[in-house]
Amino acid sequence: MVNVHSVKDAICSAVDVVQAMASSMCLLLPKVGKISSLAAELGSANVKEEGMLDVCRDLLNTISPLQGFSLRLSLYLAGKVSSSDEVEIAISNHNRWTCVRTD
């Protein structure tokens, strides 16, 4: 036979646990909302950053040939190469342009 008193005690204990959990969740809910908002803001910033990186990559691809031309022109104007010299432009490990004669 079921003891009504022990069933009542078990139910009261379960209700106490649920109420404690509900109180904790209510305290955490604003923090979760703030974190969610910050995560959305971070995602938006990431999308903008990716767009800016694409623009930078395109600009670097555009100016790269110009830098090689500028170095060749500077060498020509300094008299280190003639207009008919073949000059190969290479990049060192410090992103500095160097010049190598190919003749």
Q: Label residue 19 left, alpha or beta by phi (over 0 means left) and psi (-120 to 50 means alpha).
A: alpha
pLDDT by residue (tens digit) across 16-62? 999 999 988 888 888 888 999 999 999 999 999 999 999 998 888 88
Q: How many CA atoms lie within 13 A of 23 on its CB side?
A: 6
Q: Tell me, what DSSP letter sits at residue 91? A: E
List the chain domain ranges: 4-101
The reported pTM is 0.46
Residues 6+ apart with CB under 8 A from 86: 101, 102, 103
Virtual torsion, Cα 28, 34, 35, 36, nearest 10 deg: 110
